[in-house]
Homo-oligomer: A and B are copies of this chain.
Amino acid sequence: MSDRDVRAVRRSTVTLRDVAARAAVSTATASRALAGDTAISDPTRERVAEAARALDYRPHAAARSLRRRSTQLLGVLVTTSGDAYAGEVVHGIELRARERGHQVLLAMSHVDSTREREAFEVFLYQRVDGIIAVSPIGDGDTMSLPTRLGVPLVIINWDMAVPRKLIVRIAEGPTRGLTASLRGLAPDSGTHVRFDDTMGAEMATEHLRSLGHRRFAFVCGPPTRSSALRLFGFRRVLERDGLWPQPVLQPDPTLHDREAVISALLERSRPPIGIVAYDDLTAIAALHAAHRVGWTVPEQLSVVGLDDIELAEYTAPALTTVAQPMVELGELSVDAVLGAARRRTSDTLLEGKLIVRGTTAAVRRPRRTAARAKR
């Protein structure tokens, strides 16, 4: 190593100039050689590569993105990374981002719209190549900001709040005029990737129907779009089969209250009943409620969840549920955000998948003994 080389290594920031000097070429040539430019002779390319190796050269991302007008950064906003659902989605995002040569800049909103805004500002400051927001509250003004500035934004499962009135309308109101109300729940602009909530709930309900259930209940989550759409799916299947109306529970979001409300229902009913829960945690609350009032699952009570979080596999009995393709949601959103197809607005719906485990079983008919689902 020359003196210059030594000094460079010392200051621990070897630059292209150092590499060029060592290979006895200009920085331009060095740059091209390392970039794999074909207009470079093989011997030169080799000399440069050799110099870079010897000096342990690493390009400087900041300098590079200043010149090209692109960082290889993707801003990813989640509510909380402690949440299993968000974790899975981010998993999918990271996977695909890496494949496509991008890095993930992570921020958390804690379900607070001010923080959502701040996170976006950080992303903009960092000049990310695109933004993916996972289940944002979605203050409309914030959500339109990146697009206004020319930064692609993809929203996964926009978790817009809806008036409780709408939930009640779906649960109790007449069919007439319902589709119009529901249309208001579809995203009207921007690029969206989301789980098909309605179909997911339909799959769960159909599953119970196929097991011979005729009496049902639906347990709502908080008044958000997904809750409304899932309830709608539940209603639609049963209405089609002439089994509507059915009880619709609307507990507070605490596990305790969900359990209490479900217990109350069971106490004034008799088996068998099929419960479709808004999500897996709610389904687990139903399991606890059954335990509390002495009903056996799945003999007297069938329970289906939605989402298929990790927990679902570990309940006793293990939870039957409709899996939300979380990793795939993440992967697709990366494709969407990096896709050249810069369509102004799109809405990609991903189907769920029924996972039959131990909390659902065929109802025993008086006539003949139906087969029981094995544990």
CA of A80 to CA of B94 in the docked complex: distance in angstroms? 10
Report whether A124 and B58 are in contact in the complex, using a CB–CB cutoff of 8 Å. Answer: yes
Kindly supply a per-residue 1/0 record for chain A positions 302-328, scoring 1 wherever the CB is within 8 Å of any chain B CB and 0 otherwise: 000000001101111000000000010
Interface residues of A in 279-314 (CB under 8 A from B): 281, 284, 287-288, 291, 310-311, 313-314
Copies of this chain, how many? 2
- Residues of B close to A84: CB separation below 8 A: 82, 84, 87, 310
Report whether B314 and A291 are in contact in the complex, using a CB–CB cutoff of 8 Å. Answer: no
Report whether B105 and A105 are in contact in the complex, using a CB–CB cutoff of 8 Å. Answer: yes
Report whether B94 and A87 are in contact in the complex, using a CB–CB cutoff of 8 Å. Answer: no
CA of A258 to CA of B82 in the docked complex: distance in angstroms? 26
Nearest Cβ on chain B to A173's Cβ, whole angstroms: 34
Q: Is A66 an interface residue (CB 8 A)?
A: yes
Report whether A59 and B106 are in contact in the complex, using a CB–CB cutoff of 8 Å. Answer: no
Nearest Cβ on chain B to A331's Cβ, whole angstroms: 13
Report whether B316 and A288 are in contact in the complex, using a CB–CB cutoff of 8 Å. Answer: yes
Of the residues B81, B311, B327, contact of A87 by C-beta under 8 Å: B81
Closest B residue, CB atoms, query A284: B314
Of the residues B91, B124, B311, contact of A81 by C-beta under 8 Å: B91
CA of A105 to CA of B81 in the docked complex: distance in angstroms? 13
Q: Is A126 an interface residue (CB 8 A)?
A: yes
Report whether A122 and B149 are in contact in the complex, using a CB–CB cutoff of 8 Å. Answer: no
Sort chain A's interface into a size bin: 35 or more
Report whether B91 and A82 are in contact in the complex, using a CB–CB cutoff of 8 Å. Answer: yes
Q: Is A99 an interface residue (CB 8 A)?
A: no
Report whether B311 and A127 are in contact in the complex, using a CB–CB cutoff of 8 Å. Answer: no
CA of A122 to CA of B103 in the docked complex: distance in angstroms? 8
Q: Is A154 an interface residue (CB 8 A)?
A: no
Report whether B61 and A127 are in contact in the complex, using a CB–CB cutoff of 8 Å. Answer: yes
Report whether B108 and A12 are in contact in the complex, using a CB–CB cutoff of 8 Å. Answer: no
CA of A95 to CA of B95 in the docked complex: distance in angstroms? 24
Report whether B103 and A90 are in contact in the complex, using a CB–CB cutoff of 8 Å. Answer: no
Report whether A314 and B126 are in contact in the complex, using a CB–CB cutoff of 8 Å. Answer: no
Closest B residue, CB atoms, query A71: B62
Interface residues of A in 103-151 (CB under 8 A from B): 103-108, 121-122, 124-127, 149-150
The 7 closest A-B pairs by CB, nearest first: A82-B91, A62-B62, A87-B87, A106-B106, A81-B90, A82-B88, A61-B126
A residues lining the B interface (CB < 8 Å): 12-13, 58-63, 65-66, 69, 71, 76, 80-84, 86-88, 90-91, 94-95, 98, 103-108, 121-122, 124-127, 149-150, 255, 281, 284, 287-288, 291, 310-311, 313-316, 327
A-B CB contact pairs (8 Å), 29 listed = A13-B69, A58-B121, A58-B125, A59-B125, A60-B66, A61-B62, A62-B66, A62-B71, A80-B87, A80-B91, A81-B88, A82-B84, A82-B327, A84-B87, A84-B310, A86-B87, A87-B87, A90-B106, A94-B106, A103-B105, A103-B107, A104-B106, A281-B314, A287-B316, A291-B316, A311-B311, A311-B314, A315-B315, A316-B316
